[in-house]
A and B are shown apart, each in its own frame.
Chain A
Amino acid sequence: MNATLEKIKTHPLLGKLQANPYLGRLFRPGPIRTFSGFLAGGVLLFLVAPVVLSQFRLELLGKYLAFAIVASGIGLAWGRGGLLTLGQGVFFGIGAYAMAMHLKLSQTPEGQLPDFMQLYGEVEKLPGYWVPFQYAWFAIPAIVIFPALIAYLLGAMIFRRGVRGAYFAILSQALAAALAIFIVGQQGTTGGTNGLTNLNNFFGYDLDDPVNRKMVYFIIAGILLGVIAITRQLMFSRYGELLVATRDAYQRVRFLGYNPARVLTVAFAVSAAMAGLGGAAFVSIVGAINPASIDVVPSIAFIIGVAVGGRSTLLGPVLGAVGVAWFGTAASEAYPDSWQYIQGGMFILVVAFLPGGLATLPAAFRAIKGKWDDRKPPEIPSMGSGAIQEASA
């Protein structure tokens, strides 16, 4: 990074900007760059996107932003903490179902059963676990707290015993499979394979009205900016440094007197909470949720955006998730048969040959240009020097 700064200083054009005391500060990590970054993101999401995109595309973008919320959490847990969680669908699903249950109940007339329960006729009255979800004060905190709690308990149990790496990845994947099968099996009270559909009442606003759906988009965009802010604070804090240290030198962290299990548990719980938020956002903009969108396959699909964007960077996962989802829609509209080839190809190419994601593409080019014989892919940057500078400031 310092080498990069050096390059900027000697660059014919950028050097002049750098010399300019006002403009130059924009390019250095610090509060001004952060503020202008958030400002730019806000302008893009709140002012540019609604004008440029049609209603249909804007809602699609809202869906991608929901995935980006999940991706931000994965970036923290996987990119910074080395926890390859293949079960984010579980937490996405819990958030999504919590939201969907609330929306379903709020559009069901008092004293009646939700439509699908009447259809299947397996239950006479509302099941006990549905009852609290009719209250927004319960359902909204549940979106964040339930996923975080489950991740915390699972993480506390398995990290304490030193289970991590591949074992953790496999366990998280098995959890995703178990939850999806569980929901499908309880058709009478969960909607089974069809899931919960036709959600059209968003806290009193009719979602059949495009204006209200636009409002939901704005809410999701706001949540995304908030989630990025939280991720940024965590990444560039002392905790964030400890997390990277736990990823890179687990035993050394232990010997220094920290409890690496606790560090990992917190990262897992935070990423689960973000996945829950993403799930709730997804339900609000799409108006439906079913087990097929929280199963093993979509859980791994969350990873690809993060890997493409740059797993250990702040914005990489977010941009990657939106970009891959956008590209996915476009590609599967144009060539429905080959989307799976493209998706598989992306996994292979990015993870095998560019593990740092597109964020490290310039560095990778330099490495290739510099030395042809050393074919090793570039290292995943362990920490932006911005982090060090800010933490010590």
Chain B
Amino acid sequence: MIVVNQLFTGISFGSLLLLIALGLTLIFGQMNVINMAQGELFMFGAYTVYVLQLFMTSAGLSLFLALPVAFVVSGLIGLAMEVLLIRRLYERPLDTLLVTWGVALVLQQLARNIFGATNKQTSAPEWLTGAVTVGEFSFPASRLFILALALGSVVVLSLTFKFTPLGRRIRAVVQNRRLAATSGIPTSRVDRTTFFIGCGLAGIAGVALTLLGAIGPTMGQSYIVDAFLVVVVGGIGQLKGTVIMAFAIGMASALIEYQVGPSLAKVLVFIGIVIFLQWRPQGLFSQQTRSLA
């Protein structure tokens, strides 16, 4: 009984990690950019719900409206970042990490100045506040909704990659940028599109989080480190690896937390990841190339 509950908590945490890590791994995989500001884009996604609810009273409608709006808002902030800054740094992946961290600091303070330093509450639609009962177990509907949202995003993304022209272009650039460019694919436009999608996904994750708790200027920081770990152990740019490892880390955290408490759990998960990297230094899945390093 308790184990099932803990597993569900783990899956729920994993689905949030997945939503954040999806965008990170897309951007990292294609452009070698480590976007530390992803957590802040996530925060702006959450604030979108808050702003929409200032204008409309229906919580359900605002939630569904917030999903596309947050996607566009976060995506546009990301796009501005790419065009103004990141484009200059494609040769220096480690420096993108520091520059986007700077952007993150600025965005945090911006949120503090616009919305205030105190946490804001949003209201969830009624049908998401209850619980779904299966046999003797009951699962919070909001967490099931987040799980569905995460899995839905994965399905949409993988279908896009597989069947659309855009997806083909993205895959081509990821696999061999130079060859893609020679074949007439506008790589820098593809980069911008990927950046937009990756950052937009963070916005959707932010909308999902409003169902679980209050939103504040530093909320992005609490998930970003774990989401990066998911990207590292899943294999950079690997959708499949990211999905598997997000749920694996989520469930491992929940089960270990149940055994030894949350403070030791972080340390144990970290040690587990270092040991895992002994076995798979490039992450669970990695692209096979003949290049060194």
Contact = CB atoms under 8 A, between A and B. Distances in A.
A161 B282 CA distance: 9
Given A163-B281, A179-B267, A347 B102 contact: yes
Nearest to B32: A166
Given A177-B225, A178-B266, A185-B263, A347 B105 contact: yes
B266 A177 contact: yes
Nearest to B94: A84
Interface string B267-280: 10110011001100
Contacts of B108: 340
A194 B85 CA distance: 39
The interface residues of chain B, by DSSP majority, are classed as helix
Interface string A180-205: 01111110000000000000000000
Contacts of A158: 274, 277, 281
Given A182-B263, A340-B109, A344-B109, A307 B98 contact: yes
Contacts of A303: 98
Interface in A126-181: 154, 157-158, 161-163, 165-167, 169-171, 173-175, 177-179, 181
Nearest to A184: B263
Contacts of A341: 105-106, 109
A185 B257 CA distance: 12
Interface stretch (A37-45, A54-62, A238-246, A348-356): A348-356
User: Most chain-B CB neighbours within 10 Å: which of A297, A303, A351?
Assistant: A351
Contacts of B104: 344
Contacts of A337: 109, 113
Interface size class of B (residues with CB under 8 A): 35 or more
A296 interface: yes
A84 B108 CA distance: 23
B228 A170 contact: yes
A245 to B, nearest CB: 15
Given A175-B270, A347-B101, A352-B99, A170 B281 contact: no
A162 B266 CA distance: 24
B99 A351 contact: yes
A170 B261 contact: no
Nearest to B104: A344
B112 to A, nearest CB: 8
Nearest to A162: B281
Nearest to A190: B263
A220 B95 CA distance: 31
A185 B94 contact: no
Contacts of B193: none
A236 interface: no
Contact of A355 (B95, B221, B262): B95
B103 A348 contact: yes
A167 B232 contact: yes
A345 interface: yes
Given A161-B278, A170-B34, 19 more contacts: A163-B281, A170-B231, A171-B229, A174-B229, A175-B270, A178-B269, A185-B261, A300-B98, A300-B101, A303-B98, A340-B109, A343-B102, A344-B103, A344-B104, A351-B98, A351-B99, A352-B89, A352-B95, A352-B99
30 contacts: A82-B94, A158-B274, A162-B281, A165-B94, A166-B28, A166-B94, A170-B229, A170-B231, A171-B273, A171-B274, A171-B277, A174-B228, A174-B229, A177-B225, A181-B263, A181-B266, A184-B263, A185-B261, A250-B293, A296-B225, A337-B109, A338-B109, A340-B106, A340-B109, A341-B106, A343-B102, A347-B105, A348-B99, A351-B102, A352-B88
